């Protein structure tokens, strides 16, 4: 054989209850570098896997605050510092008339931060995966749950991990080489 080495051990599931139990078992036996590929978000599966709560809301919040502060600064500075626009003797700056634009820019920047933050946290776009040639893995976006334990995990050892996958009820346990 070539110099290819195993990067992951994969196993399939079809029952949402089984994958839930399997995820909990993988997590409890101390594996950390594993993932489950599913066609739709399975509720509670992330918790069973021991996934830490995402920091995305903080990114969104940061984006929103950036938008809000910029809006206030923009309206205040352009209207009452850089070019004093006297409209019927009304105040050069007031929060009342600024609210619509402040709101819209807050929403806009929160939206952009959420959108780009999401892809950043997911590590996307990434048009290559070591698993991409595996037929079962390709069906993960269709109708199969695929559990993958990566060889980069500290507890990973080819035989034990394979045996463990079979024990927790995975079908078609196989190695992926790259």
Partner 1 sequence: MSVETVTKTAPRNVVDHLDATAYHGNPYPVEEPMREPLVLGNPSLHDVTAKIAGIIEGKPNLKYWIAVLICASIAGAGFGAIGETVMTGIGVWGSNNTIGWAWDITNFVFWIGIGHAGTLISAILYLFRQKWRTAINRSAEAMTIFAVLCAGIFPVIHTGRPWLAYWLTPYPNQMQMWVNFRSPLVWDVFAVSTYLTVSALFWFMGLVPDLATVRNFVKGKIAKRLYTFFSLGWTGSMRNWHHYEIAYMILAGLSTPLVLSVHTIVSMDFATSVLPGWHTTIFPPYFVAGAIFSGFAMVMTLLVIAREILGLKEFITLKHLENMNKIILATGMMVGYAYSMEFFIAWYSGNEYERTVFINRAFGEYWWAYWSMVSCNVLSPQVYWFKKARRNIPLMFVISIFVNIGMWFERFTIISTSLHHDFLPSSWSYYTPTMVEVGIFVGTIGLFLTLFLLFSKYLPVIAISEIKGVMPGSQPTHHGDEHH
How far apart, in whole angstroms, are the C-alpha atoms of residue 58 and residue 177?
Answer: 37
CA neighbor of 8 nearest in space, from 126, 170, 169, 118: 170
110: Cβ contacts below 8 Å, ≥ 6 apart: 60, 61, 63, 64, 67
93/72 Cα distance (integer angstroms): 10
How many Cα atoms within 13 Å fall on the side-chain side of residue 43? 0
Q: Does 32 help bind partner 1 (rule: CB under 8 A)? A: no
Closer residue to partner 1 (CB): 2 or 96:
96
CB of 161 to partner 1, least distance (A): 19
Determine if 86 is a binding residue for partner 1 (CB under 8 A): no
Output the smallest distance, CB 158 to partner 1, in A.
Answer: 23
**172 binds partner 1, rule: CB under 8 A:** no
Instruction: Return phi, psi of residue 50, to 5°.
Output: 75, 30
- 139 contacts partner 1 (rule: CB under 8 A): yes
Burial class (CB in 10 A: 0-12, 13-18, 19+), 88: exposed
Q: What does the block give as tokens for 111?
A: 């939206």
Q: Which of 6, 7, 32, 56 binds partner 1 (CB under 8 A)?
A: 56
Q: Is 58 in the site for partner 1 (CB under 8 A)?
A: no
Considering only residues 7-26, where is the footprint of partner 1 by CB under 8 A?
A: 16-17, 19-21, 23-24
CB count in 10 Å sphere of residue 63: 22
Map residues 88-127 to x or -, x wherever contact with partner 1 holds by CB under 8 A: --x------xx-xx-xxx-xx-xxx-xx-xxx-xx-xxxx
Q: Which residues bind to partner 1, rule: CB under 8 A?
A: 16-17, 19-21, 23-24, 35-49, 51, 54, 56-57, 60, 74-75, 78-79, 82-83, 85, 87, 90, 97-98, 100-101, 103-105, 107-108, 110-112, 114-115, 117-119, 121-122, 124-129, 131, 137-143
């Amino acid at each position: 054989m070539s110099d290819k080495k195993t990067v992951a051990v994969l196993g399939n599931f079809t029952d949402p209850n089984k994958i839930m139990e399997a995820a909990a078992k993988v997590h409890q036996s101390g594996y950390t570098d594993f993932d489950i590929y599913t066609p739709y978000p399975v509720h509670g599966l992330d918790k069973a896997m021991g996934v830490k709560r995402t920091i995305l809301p903080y990114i969104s919040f940061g984006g929103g605050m950036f938008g809000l502060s910029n809006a206030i600064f923009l309206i205040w500075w352009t209207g009452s510092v850089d070019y004093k626009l006297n409209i019927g003797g009304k105040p050069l700056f007031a929060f009342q008339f600024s609210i619509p634009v402040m709101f819209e820019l807050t929403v806009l920047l929160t939206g952009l931060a959420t959108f780009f933050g999401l892809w950043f946290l997911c590590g996307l776009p990434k048009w290559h995966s070591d698993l991409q040639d595996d037929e079962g893995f390709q069906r993960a976006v269709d109708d199969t749950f695929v559990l993958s334990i990566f060889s980069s995990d500290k507890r990973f050892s080819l035989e034990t991990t394979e045996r463990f996958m079979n024990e927790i009820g995975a079908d078609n346990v196989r190695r992926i080489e790259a």
